[in-house]
Amino acid sequence: MSTIDLYTFTTPNGRKPLIMLEEIGLPYTNHAIDISKGEQFKPEYVAINPNSKIPAMVDRETDLTIFESGAILIYLAEKSGQLLPTAPKNRFQVLQWLMLQMGSIGPMFGQLGHFKHAAPEKIPYAIERYEKETLRLYSVLDGQLTDHTFIADDDYSIADIATYPWVANYERLGLTLDGHPHLKRWVELLQQRPAVQRAMTMSL
């Protein structure tokens, strides 16, 4: 029986907890919050996440409500004992790359997507700024993956789960991974994981 209620949608941030839950095998009930219709601002959802963003999660077994995708990933990793090492050196290796996704990759890639597809007018300066930063971050990831199978080390972790939906969105951003062969290899590797496939194609 499911004790976890997940509130999410089909954005890169929204896919992250779906991948995690599919990977660790915990049963959950999914609730679509259609942000294109403003459902994140409904009072019943604001009561779950006062910031009116997705995703958010309620674990009825522990009576905990958690918002922010990074916090959800850490919580689920600790609850399941999977995908986040306990040894301090390895743990913080994962957490620093998770924070890079939260603080840089998500915001920068998201702004590029906004100015390319959602802004009411094309602003060349903004597009150039965020595209340049996105490509710089591609290079950071590519460098890390030169001698690591996965982002934090040679073990798959929540750092990979957090980063993958954003990088896999490269075609929508009008970009290519051809100049970043290690990053491209990593994307192709994660694409082969059944849990990733289920989460990324799930209708919400």
pLDDT confidence of residue 58: 98
> Coil, helix or strand for 96?
helix
Q: Which residue has the tokens 């700024």?
A: 129
Please, what are the domains in the chain?
A: 4-83 (3.40.30.10), 88-198 (1.20.1050.10)
Model confidence band, residue 147 (pLDDT cutoffs 50, 70, 90):
very high
Within 10 angstroms of residue 195's Cβ, the number of other Cβ atoms is 17
Phi, psi of 175 (to 5 degrees): -115, 175
Burial class from Cβ neighbours inside 10 Å (0-12, 13-18, 19+) for residue 198 reads: middle
Average pLDDT, the chain: 97
- Residue 1: is its pLDDT beyond 90? no
Q: Give the pLDDT confidence of 40-70 residue by residue, as tens digits.
A: 999 999 999 999 999 999 999 999 999 999 9
Q: Give the pLDDT confidence of 4-22 residue by residue, as tens digits.
A: 999 999 999 999 999 999 9
Residue 31, beta-bridge partner list: 7
The pTM is what? 0.97
Alpha carbon dihedral 69, 158, 165, 150, in 10-degree steps, equals 160
Per cent of the chain over pLDDT 70 is 100
